[in-house]
């Protein structure tokens, strides 16, 4: 690897990431046709079970971030990364400016090549110097032999969304006793 071609160092997304990534959410009316990229993951009528995943990103004082942005990347119901007609595999949501809540409406991923069904999640916000990578698994799946959960050891519960019947909740803790496992991958 040549030093001149080392990865560009990361910098925080800052408090105004919305302007660049979700401009309609930020109030820039009409920008990009009024469609924020990643806002809708299900754009047609794909096979698979529809799920709602509700998240917060919580700081060291236990307060949900109001200015974060989370992206997910996932397999489709068949466990592949597509492309899948009517489904984007990728979503992007800002946390609500008042509640800090964000919601992904997506499809339940299938198991992938020896891995339990999971989403890859990436969290950016003011105060986060390098985007945080984590995974989200599902409490109603068999996660017992997943190799990445094994890496998380006794902290693997921080990676598992709770719920079922198409509705899941998952909070991401940046610090504290329940700190979520973040990965260098």
Partner 1 sequence: MADHIIAPRDLDWHPKPLAPDYRSSLLRSPNHTRLHYDPTVTEMTGPTFGHGMLGPDDDDLIVNYAQAGEAAIGPRIIVHGKLLDEDGRPVSGKLIEVWQANAGGRYRHKKDGYAAPLDPNFGGCGRCISGEDGSYSFRTIQPGPYPWPNGGNDWRPAHIHFSVFGDGFAQRLITQMYFEGDPHIALCPIVQCIPSDTAIDRLVARLDMDNTVPMDIRAYRFDIVLRGRGATIFENQMEGT
Binding positions for partner 1, 64-93, rule CB under 8 A: 65, 67, 71, 73-75, 81, 88-90
Q: Which of 1, 8, 10, 14 binds Fe ion (CB under 5 A)?
A: 14
| 131 forms part of the interface with Fe ion (CB under 5 A) | no
* Window 39 to 58, contacts with partner 1 (CB under 8 A): none
Cα separation, 142 vs 122, whole angstroms: 23
The stretch near partner 1 (CB under 8 A) out of 45-53, 99-107, 116-124, 137-145 is: 116-124
Smallest Cα–Cα separation from 174: which of 138, 140, 127? 127
Q: Which is nearer to Fe ion, 14 or 86 (CB)?
A: 14
Cα separation, 60 vs 163, whole angstroms: 25
Q: Which residue is nearest to Fe ion (CB)?
A: 14
**Minimum CB separation from partner 1 for residue 52, in Å?**
21
Smallest Cα–Cα separation from 42: which of 108, 140, 95, 101? 108
CA distances from 48 to 22, 106, 110, 121, 185 (A): 27, 10, 9, 20, 28
**Minimum CB separation from Fe ion for residue 129, in Å?**
14
Spatial contact of 86 and 132, defined as CB atoms under 8 Å apart: no
Q: Which of 78, 131, 139, 140 binds partner 1 (CB under 8 A)?
A: 131
Q: Which is nearer to partner 1, 51 or 109 (CB)?
A: 109
Smallest Cα–Cα separation from 97: which of 125, 129, 127? 125
* Window 87 to 116, contacts with Fe ion (CB under 5 A): none
**Minimum CB separation from partner 1 for residue 26, in Å?**
6
């Amino acid at each position: 690897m040549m030093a001149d071609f080392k990865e560009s160092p990361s910098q925080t997304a800052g408090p105004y990431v919305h302007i660049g990534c979700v401009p309609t959410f930020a109030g820039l009316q009409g920008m990009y046709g009024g469609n924020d990229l990643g806002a809708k993951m299900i754009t047609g009528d794909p096979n698979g079970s529809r799920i709602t995943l509700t998240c917060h990103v919580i700081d060291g004082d236990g307060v949900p971030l109001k200015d974060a942005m989370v992206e997910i990347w996932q397999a489709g119901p068949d466990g592949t990364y597509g492309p899948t007609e009517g489904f984007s595999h990728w979503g992007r949501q800002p946390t609500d400016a008042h509640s800090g809540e964000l919601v992904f409406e997506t499809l339940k991923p299938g198991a992938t090549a020896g891995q339990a069904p999971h989403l890859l999640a990436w969290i950016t916000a003011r105060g986060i110097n390098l985007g945080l990578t984590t995974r989200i698994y599902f409490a109603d799946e068999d996660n017992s032999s997943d190799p990445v959960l094994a890496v998380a050891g006794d902290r693997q519960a921080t990676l598992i969304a709770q719920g079922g019947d198409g509705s899941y909740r998952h909070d991401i803790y940046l610090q504290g006793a329940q700190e979520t496992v973040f990965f260098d991958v």
